[in-house]
Amino acid sequence: MNRIDKKLNKEGKLLSIYFTAGYPSLNDTKEIIVKLEESGVDMIEIGLPFSDPLADGPTIQDSSSEAIKNGMNSNVLFDQLKDIRSRVSIPLIIMGYFNPILQYGVKAFCKKCSEVGIDGLIIPDLPINYFEANYKSIFKEYGLHNMFLIAPQTSEERIRHIDKISNGFIYMVSSSSVTGSKNSFDSDQLAYFSNIKEMNLSSKRIIGFGVGNKETFNTAVGYSKGAIIGSAFIKHLKLKGISSIDEFIKSIRK
């Protein structure tokens, strides 16, 4: 069974952390992953930096630009992760835009993911029908889950289709804006969370975008299996460094 499914099937609410590979420094990737697992994080999303990250807010955009300047790319990331499974056991997901994956070669990229122990991918700009027609069988061959995103403007028909074809979890984007942490959710977001919960989807849902502190995390997991924190964690890394990762995680779960 895929490690993502094993984690989703366990009791309790999940905390997933997103960070940009190669940031703050090129060779920080592995240490950040190890520290996150030691701090009690349930899943990790490793951001593959891209030069034109349209869905990301300024914090993740800046970290992506810095990581590229540091020399991060797909080959470097796979080299850094080649023995990561001797250090950590929690699910690892690569999140990134389709262009770098296409340039690498989708089949070759999936093969490398399988070799280093990646459990799934999140590719926000890969159309569902294009994935089903061209790449679904490749992902299955290499035991990778592909998580799809839904947002407040997503139609019920599309959500039902995503639920039907999904493995792993559905990434539930909290708003139509770009990524970025906030102090609380507004009434429209809460209504959206409630509406999706009442749909009784078969897939587990994890909420991302706008989750950045204990309050927003606790609110999000009231409507879902878990929540993803990205921008707030990256800001913390920039200000306080890798040695303070445990401090950040405790501030969310204390």
**Domain residue ranges of the chain, discontinuous segments joined by +:** 13-253
Check 56, 62, 141, 186 and give the catalytic one.
56
What ranges in 136-244 are assigned the alpha helix state H?
A: 136-141, 156-165, 187-198, 214-221, 231-240
Query: Is 198 a known active-site residue?
Result: no
pLDDT, position 48 = 97
pLDDT, position 182 = 61
pLDDT, position 24 = 96
Closest CA to 74 of 112, 18, 122: 112
Query: Is 45 a known active-site residue?
Result: yes
pLDDT tens digit at each of 254 positions of the chain: 899 999 999 989 999 999 999 999 999 999 999 999 999 999 999 999 987 756 567 888 899 999 999 999 999 999 999 999 999 999 999 999 999 999 999 999 999 999 999 999 999 999 999 999 999 999 999 999 999 999 999 999 999 999 999 999 999 999 765 454 567 799 999 999 999 999 999 999 999 998 999 999 999 999 999 999 999 999 999 999 999 999 999 999 87
Check 37, 45, 66, 119 and give the catalytic one.
45
pTM here is: 0.94
pLDDT, position 55 = 58
Side-chain-side CA neighbours of 251 within 13 Å: the count stands at 13
Tokens 């997933």 locate to 16
13-253 maps to which CATH number? 3.20.20.70
